[in-house]
Structure 1
Amino acid sequence: MNKHLIRRTALVAAAGTASFVLAACGSNDDAPTGHGSSASATASAAWSQGEHNAADVAFAKGMIPHHRQAVEMADLAPNRAQSAEIKTLAGNIKKAQDPEIRTMSGWLTSWGEQVPAEGVMDHSMHGMDGMMTAEDMDSLKKTSGKAFDTAFLRMMIKHHEGAVGTAKTEKADGSFPDAKKMADAVITSQSAEITRMNSLLGTS
Protein backbone atom coordinates (compact mmCIF):
# COMPACT_ATOMS: atom_id res chain seq x y z
CA MET A 1 0.00 0.00 0.00
CA ASN A 2 2.81 2.32 0.95
CA LYS A 3 4.57 1.50 -2.32
CA HIS A 4 1.45 2.43 -4.31
CA LEU A 5 1.11 5.68 -2.40
CA ILE A 6 4.73 6.59 -2.97
CA ARG A 7 4.40 5.79 -6.70
CA ARG A 8 1.25 7.93 -7.03
CA THR A 9 2.92 10.81 -5.23
CA ALA A 10 5.95 10.57 -7.54
CA LEU A 11 3.74 10.55 -10.64
CA VAL A 12 1.78 13.59 -9.49
CA ALA A 13 4.99 15.46 -8.72
CA ALA A 14 6.46 14.54 -12.12
CA ALA A 15 3.28 15.67 -13.90
CA GLY A 16 3.33 18.94 -12.00
CA THR A 17 6.95 19.54 -12.91
CA ALA A 18 6.24 18.79 -16.56
CA SER A 19 3.30 21.19 -16.56
CA PHE A 20 5.44 23.92 -15.04
CA VAL A 21 8.18 23.37 -17.64
CA LEU A 22 5.69 23.41 -20.51
CA ALA A 23 4.05 26.55 -19.18
CA ALA A 24 7.43 28.21 -18.85
CA CYS A 25 8.37 27.21 -22.37
CA GLY A 26 5.04 28.47 -23.64
CA SER A 27 5.59 31.73 -21.83
CA ASN A 28 9.05 32.10 -23.32
CA ASP A 29 7.76 31.35 -26.81
CA ASP A 30 4.93 33.83 -26.48
CA ALA A 31 7.09 36.67 -25.24
CA PRO A 32 9.35 37.01 -28.28
CA THR A 33 6.46 36.33 -30.63
CA GLY A 34 4.41 39.08 -29.06
CA HIS A 35 7.38 41.44 -28.99
CA GLY A 36 8.24 40.57 -32.58
CA SER A 37 4.70 41.27 -33.73
CA SER A 38 4.74 44.61 -31.96
CA ALA A 39 8.09 45.53 -33.48
CA SER A 40 6.90 44.42 -36.90
CA ALA A 41 3.73 46.49 -36.60
CA THR A 42 5.75 49.50 -35.49
CA ALA A 43 8.17 49.07 -38.38
CA SER A 44 5.28 48.70 -40.80
CA ALA A 45 3.62 51.85 -39.48
CA ALA A 46 6.89 53.76 -39.73
CA TRP A 47 7.36 52.56 -43.30
CA SER A 48 3.84 53.52 -44.35
CA GLN A 49 4.25 56.96 -42.80
CA GLY A 50 7.58 57.24 -44.56
CA GLU A 51 9.07 59.58 -41.95
CA HIS A 52 7.93 62.50 -44.08
CA ASN A 53 7.07 66.08 -43.19
CA ALA A 54 4.85 68.87 -44.51
CA ALA A 55 7.50 69.96 -47.02
CA ASP A 56 7.52 66.47 -48.57
CA VAL A 57 3.72 66.54 -48.92
CA ALA A 58 3.83 70.01 -50.48
CA PHE A 59 6.57 68.90 -52.87
CA ALA A 60 4.58 65.91 -54.13
CA LYS A 61 1.26 67.75 -54.31
CA GLY A 62 2.83 70.63 -56.20
CA MET A 63 5.07 68.63 -58.50
CA ILE A 64 2.44 66.14 -59.69
CA PRO A 65 0.31 68.70 -61.58
CA HIS A 66 3.52 70.47 -62.62
CA HIS A 67 4.83 67.26 -64.19
CA ARG A 68 1.45 66.50 -65.75
CA GLN A 69 1.51 69.81 -67.57
CA ALA A 70 5.06 69.21 -68.80
CA VAL A 71 3.95 65.83 -70.17
CA GLU A 72 0.94 67.50 -71.83
CA MET A 73 3.27 69.99 -73.49
CA ALA A 74 5.67 67.24 -74.53
CA ASP A 75 2.79 65.28 -76.10
CA LEU A 76 2.23 68.16 -78.54
CA ALA A 77 5.75 68.03 -79.95
CA PRO A 78 5.62 64.92 -82.19
CA ASN A 79 2.92 66.39 -84.45
CA ARG A 80 3.77 70.09 -84.17
CA ALA A 81 7.51 70.56 -83.72
CA GLN A 82 9.73 71.22 -86.70
CA SER A 83 13.02 70.45 -84.96
CA ALA A 84 13.98 66.81 -84.50
CA GLU A 85 15.96 67.87 -81.42
CA ILE A 86 12.86 69.31 -79.79
CA LYS A 87 10.92 66.13 -80.54
CA THR A 88 13.68 64.12 -78.88
CA LEU A 89 13.80 66.50 -75.94
CA ALA A 90 10.03 66.28 -75.49
CA GLY A 91 10.21 62.49 -75.57
CA ASN A 92 12.89 62.49 -72.88
CA ILE A 93 10.85 64.85 -70.69
CA LYS A 94 7.83 62.56 -70.88
CA LYS A 95 9.93 59.45 -70.25
CA ALA A 96 11.42 60.99 -67.10
CA GLN A 97 8.35 62.65 -65.64
CA ASP A 98 5.62 60.03 -66.19
CA PRO A 99 7.23 57.54 -63.75
CA GLU A 100 7.88 60.34 -61.24
CA ILE A 101 4.18 61.22 -61.26
CA ARG A 102 3.34 57.61 -60.39
CA THR A 103 5.99 57.49 -57.67
CA MET A 104 4.84 60.72 -56.00
CA SER A 105 1.21 59.60 -56.20
CA GLY A 106 2.23 56.42 -54.37
CA TRP A 107 3.91 58.46 -51.65
CA LEU A 108 0.83 60.58 -51.06
CA THR A 109 -1.42 57.52 -50.93
CA SER A 110 0.85 55.78 -48.40
CA TRP A 111 0.87 58.94 -46.28
CA GLY A 112 -2.92 59.14 -46.24
CA GLU A 113 -2.85 62.30 -48.38
CA GLN A 114 -5.03 63.07 -51.38
CA VAL A 115 -3.44 62.85 -54.82
CA PRO A 116 -4.19 65.98 -56.90
CA ALA A 117 -6.98 65.27 -59.37
CA GLU A 118 -6.26 65.32 -63.09
CA GLY A 119 -6.74 68.78 -64.56
CA VAL A 120 -6.72 70.52 -61.19
CA MET A 121 -4.26 73.40 -61.05
CA ASP A 122 -4.41 75.40 -57.85
CA HIS A 123 -1.88 78.15 -58.51
CA SER A 124 -1.86 79.08 -54.82
CA MET A 125 -0.28 75.72 -53.99
CA HIS A 126 3.37 75.49 -53.12
CA GLY A 127 5.46 74.17 -55.98
CA MET A 128 3.39 75.55 -58.82
CA ASP A 129 5.99 78.07 -60.05
CA GLY A 130 6.45 77.98 -63.81
CA MET A 131 2.98 76.61 -64.57
CA MET A 132 1.44 77.71 -67.85
CA THR A 133 -2.00 79.29 -67.84
CA ALA A 134 -4.89 77.76 -69.79
CA GLU A 135 -4.42 80.57 -72.32
CA ASP A 136 -0.72 79.67 -72.69
CA MET A 137 -1.59 76.05 -73.35
CA ASP A 138 -4.31 76.96 -75.87
CA SER A 139 -1.86 79.22 -77.68
CA LEU A 140 0.77 76.47 -77.84
CA LYS A 141 -1.79 73.99 -79.23
CA LYS A 142 -2.59 76.38 -82.09
CA THR A 143 1.00 76.67 -83.33
CA SER A 144 3.19 74.40 -85.39
CA GLY A 145 6.54 74.35 -87.12
CA LYS A 146 9.16 76.94 -86.10
CA ALA A 147 6.57 79.00 -84.18
CA PHE A 148 5.78 75.95 -82.05
CA ASP A 149 9.47 75.25 -81.48
CA THR A 150 10.10 78.78 -80.18
CA ALA A 151 6.97 78.85 -77.99
CA PHE A 152 7.64 75.36 -76.63
CA LEU A 153 11.22 76.18 -75.66
CA ARG A 154 10.30 79.44 -73.95
CA MET A 155 7.46 77.84 -72.00
CA MET A 156 9.40 74.72 -71.05
CA ILE A 157 12.39 76.75 -69.86
CA LYS A 158 10.10 78.71 -67.54
CA HIS A 159 8.42 75.46 -66.50
CA HIS A 160 11.72 73.76 -65.71
CA GLU A 161 12.97 76.78 -63.76
CA GLY A 162 9.88 76.50 -61.55
CA ALA A 163 10.49 72.78 -61.01
CA VAL A 164 14.14 73.37 -60.10
CA GLY A 165 13.14 76.02 -57.56
CA THR A 166 10.59 73.68 -55.99
CA ALA A 167 13.14 70.85 -55.89
CA LYS A 168 15.66 73.09 -54.11
CA THR A 169 13.03 73.89 -51.48
CA GLU A 170 12.41 70.16 -50.99
CA LYS A 171 16.13 69.48 -50.58
CA ALA A 172 16.36 72.20 -47.94
CA ASP A 173 13.15 71.53 -46.01
CA GLY A 174 12.06 67.95 -46.74
CA SER A 175 12.83 64.89 -44.63
CA PHE A 176 11.68 61.93 -46.75
CA PRO A 177 14.87 60.43 -48.27
CA ASP A 178 13.30 59.32 -51.56
CA ALA A 179 11.68 62.72 -52.10
CA LYS A 180 14.98 64.49 -51.48
CA LYS A 181 16.68 62.07 -53.88
CA MET A 182 14.06 62.81 -56.55
CA ALA A 183 14.47 66.54 -55.94
CA ASP A 184 18.20 66.20 -56.52
CA ALA A 185 17.56 64.31 -59.78
CA VAL A 186 15.10 67.01 -60.93
CA ILE A 187 17.67 69.74 -60.26
CA THR A 188 20.39 67.89 -62.16
CA SER A 189 18.36 66.76 -65.19
CA GLN A 190 16.18 69.82 -65.65
CA SER A 191 19.06 72.27 -65.17
CA ALA A 192 20.87 70.45 -67.98
CA GLU A 193 17.75 70.61 -70.14
CA ILE A 194 17.38 74.34 -69.46
CA THR A 195 20.93 74.86 -70.75
CA ARG A 196 20.17 72.78 -73.82
CA MET A 197 16.88 74.58 -74.51
CA ASN A 198 18.50 78.00 -74.15
CA SER A 199 21.09 76.85 -76.67
CA LEU A 200 18.38 75.74 -79.09
CA LEU A 201 16.59 79.04 -78.57
CA GLY A 202 19.79 80.87 -79.39
CA THR A 203 19.91 82.79 -76.14
CA SER A 204 23.07 81.31 -74.69
Structure 2
Amino acid sequence: MSAVLALTAAAGCSADEEKDSGAPIIVPGEVGESSKTVAPESLKTPKDDYNDVDREFVEMMVPHHQQAVEMSALAAKHARASEVKGFASRISDTQRAEIDALQGWLETRGLPKASTTPTGEHVTHMQGMLTPAQMDELAAARGRAFDRLYVKRMIAHHEGAIAMADEALSSGIDTVNRAFAGDVMASQSAEVTRLRDILLTL
Protein backbone atom coordinates (compact mmCIF):
# COMPACT_ATOMS: atom_id res chain seq x y z
CA MET A 1 0.00 0.00 0.00
CA SER A 2 1.28 3.45 -0.86
CA ALA A 3 0.72 4.83 2.63
CA VAL A 4 2.82 2.04 4.10
CA LEU A 5 5.65 2.97 1.76
CA ALA A 6 5.41 6.59 2.85
CA LEU A 7 5.11 5.68 6.51
CA THR A 8 8.08 3.33 6.30
CA ALA A 9 10.19 5.86 4.45
CA ALA A 10 9.55 8.54 7.05
CA ALA A 11 9.96 6.19 10.00
CA GLY A 12 13.01 4.25 8.86
CA CYS A 13 15.17 6.79 7.01
CA SER A 14 17.06 9.83 8.10
CA ALA A 15 16.64 13.13 6.25
CA ASP A 16 19.98 12.59 4.46
CA GLU A 17 18.96 9.08 3.40
CA GLU A 18 15.69 10.41 2.01
CA LYS A 19 17.46 13.11 0.01
CA ASP A 20 20.02 10.64 -1.29
CA SER A 21 17.39 8.15 -2.40
CA GLY A 22 15.62 10.67 -4.63
CA ALA A 23 12.83 8.16 -5.24
CA PRO A 24 9.40 9.77 -5.47
CA ILE A 25 6.73 8.68 -3.00
CA ILE A 26 3.05 8.31 -3.81
CA VAL A 27 0.86 9.86 -1.13
CA PRO A 28 -2.88 9.08 -1.20
CA GLY A 29 -5.16 12.10 -1.17
CA GLU A 30 -7.92 12.65 1.30
CA VAL A 31 -11.35 11.22 0.58
CA GLY A 32 -12.51 12.40 -2.84
CA GLU A 33 -9.04 13.54 -3.86
CA SER A 34 -6.53 11.80 -6.12
CA SER A 35 -3.11 10.60 -5.03
CA LYS A 36 -0.04 12.69 -5.74
CA THR A 37 3.65 12.02 -6.20
CA VAL A 38 6.01 13.97 -3.98
CA ALA A 39 9.73 14.14 -3.34
CA PRO A 40 10.91 12.23 -0.25
CA GLU A 41 12.23 15.37 1.45
CA SER A 42 8.76 16.91 1.39
CA LEU A 43 7.55 14.17 3.73
CA LYS A 44 10.12 14.89 6.42
CA THR A 45 8.29 15.35 9.68
CA PRO A 46 10.11 16.64 12.76
CA LYS A 47 9.91 14.19 15.63
CA ASP A 48 7.90 16.67 17.68
CA ASP A 49 5.54 17.60 14.84
CA TYR A 50 2.68 15.38 15.92
CA ASN A 51 -0.11 15.63 18.46
CA ASP A 52 -1.90 13.31 20.86
CA VAL A 53 -4.40 12.32 18.18
CA ASP A 54 -1.57 11.12 15.91
CA ARG A 55 0.13 9.20 18.71
CA GLU A 56 -3.05 7.58 20.00
CA PHE A 57 -4.16 6.60 16.52
CA VAL A 58 -0.89 4.78 15.89
CA GLU A 59 -0.93 3.15 19.33
CA MET A 60 -4.48 1.91 18.77
CA MET A 61 -4.05 0.79 15.18
CA VAL A 62 -1.28 -1.64 16.14
CA PRO A 63 -3.51 -3.90 18.32
CA HIS A 64 -6.45 -3.26 15.99
CA HIS A 65 -4.44 -4.58 13.04
CA GLN A 66 -3.06 -7.41 15.18
CA GLN A 67 -6.57 -8.66 15.89
CA ALA A 68 -7.37 -8.64 12.17
CA VAL A 69 -4.23 -10.74 11.61
CA GLU A 70 -5.37 -13.17 14.31
CA MET A 71 -8.86 -13.39 12.81
CA SER A 72 -7.34 -14.09 9.42
CA ALA A 73 -5.07 -16.80 10.84
CA LEU A 74 -8.24 -18.57 11.97
CA ALA A 75 -9.63 -18.22 8.44
CA ALA A 76 -6.57 -19.97 7.04
CA LYS A 77 -7.47 -22.98 9.21
CA HIS A 78 -11.27 -23.01 9.27
CA ALA A 79 -12.73 -21.13 6.31
CA ARG A 80 -14.36 -23.12 3.51
CA ALA A 81 -14.93 -20.55 0.75
CA SER A 82 -11.92 -19.72 -1.40
CA GLU A 83 -13.01 -16.06 -1.49
CA VAL A 84 -12.83 -15.88 2.29
CA LYS A 85 -9.46 -17.63 2.43
CA GLY A 86 -8.05 -15.33 -0.26
CA PHE A 87 -9.35 -12.18 1.42
CA ALA A 88 -7.99 -13.27 4.81
CA SER A 89 -4.55 -13.98 3.32
CA ARG A 90 -4.35 -10.48 1.84
CA ILE A 91 -5.47 -8.90 5.12
CA SER A 92 -2.81 -10.81 7.04
CA ASP A 93 0.02 -9.82 4.68
CA THR A 94 -1.03 -6.17 4.41
CA GLN A 95 -1.70 -5.51 8.06
CA ARG A 96 1.46 -7.25 9.27
CA ALA A 97 3.45 -4.84 7.10
CA GLU A 98 1.47 -1.90 8.40
CA ILE A 99 2.08 -2.93 12.03
CA ASP A 100 5.83 -2.83 11.38
CA ALA A 101 5.54 0.61 9.77
CA LEU A 102 3.40 1.95 12.63
CA GLN A 103 5.89 0.70 15.22
CA GLY A 104 8.64 2.41 13.21
CA TRP A 105 6.71 5.69 13.35
CA LEU A 106 6.68 5.48 17.15
CA GLU A 107 10.34 4.47 17.39
CA THR A 108 11.47 7.37 15.18
CA ARG A 109 9.76 9.80 17.54
CA GLY A 110 11.29 8.29 20.64
CA LEU A 111 8.00 6.78 21.75
CA PRO A 112 7.58 3.27 23.20
CA LYS A 113 6.40 0.56 20.86
CA ALA A 114 2.66 -0.04 20.99
CA SER A 115 1.27 -3.12 22.69
CA THR A 116 -0.24 -5.67 20.32
CA THR A 117 -3.14 -6.06 22.74
CA PRO A 118 -5.44 -3.20 23.85
CA THR A 119 -4.33 -1.58 27.09
CA GLY A 120 -5.40 1.27 29.34
CA GLU A 121 -7.77 3.89 28.00
CA HIS A 122 -7.33 2.58 24.46
CA VAL A 123 -9.59 -0.36 25.34
CA THR A 124 -12.63 1.93 25.42
CA HIS A 125 -11.55 4.13 22.50
CA MET A 126 -10.90 1.41 19.93
CA GLN A 127 -13.84 0.76 17.64
CA GLY A 128 -14.78 -2.49 15.94
CA MET A 129 -12.70 -4.75 18.19
CA LEU A 130 -13.99 -8.23 18.94
CA THR A 131 -14.36 -9.19 22.58
CA PRO A 132 -12.50 -12.28 23.86
CA ALA A 133 -15.82 -14.15 23.82
CA GLN A 134 -16.41 -13.19 20.18
CA MET A 135 -12.91 -14.32 19.25
CA ASP A 136 -13.55 -17.64 21.00
CA GLU A 137 -16.81 -18.03 19.08
CA LEU A 138 -15.01 -17.38 15.81
CA ALA A 139 -12.28 -19.87 16.70
CA ALA A 140 -14.88 -22.56 17.41
CA ALA A 141 -16.78 -22.08 14.13
CA ARG A 142 -16.12 -24.21 11.06
CA GLY A 143 -16.96 -24.22 7.36
CA ARG A 144 -19.79 -22.04 6.10
CA ALA A 145 -20.67 -20.93 9.64
CA PHE A 146 -17.10 -19.71 10.07
CA ASP A 147 -17.14 -17.95 6.72
CA ARG A 148 -20.27 -15.95 7.50
CA LEU A 149 -19.13 -15.07 11.02
CA TYR A 150 -15.67 -14.03 9.85
CA VAL A 151 -17.04 -11.80 7.12
CA LYS A 152 -19.63 -10.14 9.36
CA ARG A 153 -17.12 -9.45 12.09
CA MET A 154 -14.42 -8.26 9.71
CA ILE A 155 -16.91 -5.76 8.28
CA ALA A 156 -17.53 -4.39 11.79
CA HIS A 157 -13.78 -4.45 12.49
CA HIS A 158 -13.03 -2.49 9.31
CA GLU A 159 -15.79 0.01 10.03
CA GLY A 160 -14.17 0.65 13.41
CA ALA A 161 -10.80 1.27 11.75
CA ILE A 162 -12.43 3.67 9.28
CA ALA A 163 -13.97 5.67 12.13
CA MET A 164 -10.62 5.84 13.93
CA ALA A 165 -8.86 6.90 10.74
CA ASP A 166 -11.44 9.61 10.14
CA GLU A 167 -10.65 11.11 13.54
CA ALA A 168 -6.90 10.99 12.83
CA LEU A 169 -7.41 12.59 9.43
CA SER A 170 -9.59 15.32 10.92
CA SER A 171 -7.54 16.18 14.01
CA GLY A 172 -4.01 14.81 13.50
CA ILE A 173 -1.17 17.04 12.28
CA ASP A 174 1.56 14.58 11.26
CA THR A 175 1.82 14.57 7.46
CA VAL A 176 2.74 10.92 7.09
CA ASN A 177 0.24 9.74 9.67
CA ARG A 178 -2.56 11.64 7.96
CA ALA A 179 -1.59 10.02 4.66
CA PHE A 180 -1.77 6.61 6.33
CA ALA A 181 -5.17 7.42 7.86
CA GLY A 182 -6.48 8.50 4.46
CA ASP A 183 -5.28 5.25 2.93
CA VAL A 184 -6.95 3.23 5.71
CA MET A 185 -10.24 4.97 5.00
CA ALA A 186 -10.02 4.38 1.25
CA SER A 187 -8.70 0.83 1.26
CA GLN A 188 -10.83 -0.51 4.08
CA SER A 189 -13.98 1.13 2.69
CA ALA A 190 -13.32 -0.74 -0.56
CA GLU A 191 -12.72 -3.95 1.40
CA VAL A 192 -16.02 -3.53 3.27
CA THR A 193 -17.78 -3.37 -0.09
CA ARG A 194 -15.94 -6.53 -1.17
CA LEU A 195 -16.82 -8.31 2.07
CA ARG A 196 -20.50 -7.46 1.66
CA ASP A 197 -20.40 -8.91 -1.84
CA ILE A 198 -18.76 -12.08 -0.50
CA LEU A 199 -21.38 -12.36 2.23
CA LEU A 200 -24.14 -12.52 -0.40
CA THR A 201 -22.54 -15.66 -1.82
CA LEU A 202 -22.23 -17.53 1.49
Where on the TM-score scale, by shorter chain, does this alignment land: which range? 0.7 to 0.9
**2:115 aligned residue:** 117
CA distance in 1, matches of 2:51, 2:175: 11
Q: Larger helix proportion, structure 1 or 2?
A: 1
Q: Give the gaps of 5 or more residues in structure 2.
A: 1-43
Relative to structure 1, the CA distance from residue 137 to residue 123 in structure 2 (aligned partners, 3 Å threshold; closer, same or farther) is farther
Matched, 1:94 2:92: yes
Relative to structure 1, the CA distance from residue 196 to residue 123 in structure 2 (aligned partners, 3 Å threshold; closer, same or farther) is farther
The DSSP-based 3-state class of the residue aligned with 1:60 is helix
Q: Give the gaps of 5 or more residues in structure 1.
A: 1-45
Displacement of 1:202 in angstroms is 2.2
Q: Percent identity?
A: 36
- Which has more radius of gyration? 1
The residue correspondences of 1:50-199 to structure 2 (distance < 5 A) are: 51-118=49-116, 120-122=117-119, 124-125=121-122, 128-199=126-197
Relative to structure 1, the CA distance from residue 137 to residue 178 in structure 2 (aligned partners, 3 Å threshold; closer, same or farther) is same
Displacement of 1:114 in angstroms is 2.1
> Which amino acid is 1:167 matched to?
A
Relative to structure 1, the CA distance from residue 106 to residue 48 in structure 2 (aligned partners, 3 Å threshold; closer, same or farther) is farther
CA distance in 2, matches of 1:109, 1:54: 15
**1:33 aligned residue:** none
CA distance in 1, matches of 2:82, 2:166: 31
Root-mean-square deviation (CA, aligned residues, Å) is 1.8
CA distance in 1, matches of 2:197, 2:145: 16
CA distance in 1, matches of 2:149, 2:177: 31
Residues 113-145 of structure 1: CA deviation (Å, up to 9, x unaligned) = 222223x32373175100001111111111110
* 8 A contact 1:50–1:176 mirrored in 2: no
CA distance in 2, matches of 1:194, 1:91: 16
> Which amino acid is 2:172 matched to?
G
Displacement of 1:72 in angstroms is 0.5
The DSSP-based 3-state class of the residue aligned with 1:192 is helix
The DSSP-based 3-state class of the residue aligned with 1:202 is helix
> Which amino acid is 1:175 matched to?
I
CA distance in 2, matches of 1:75, 1:183: 24
Q: Which has the higher contact order (CA 8 A, sep 6+)?
A: 2
* 8 A contact 2:155–2:195 mirrored in 1: yes
Q: Which moved more, 1:144-153 or 1:107-116?
A: 107-116
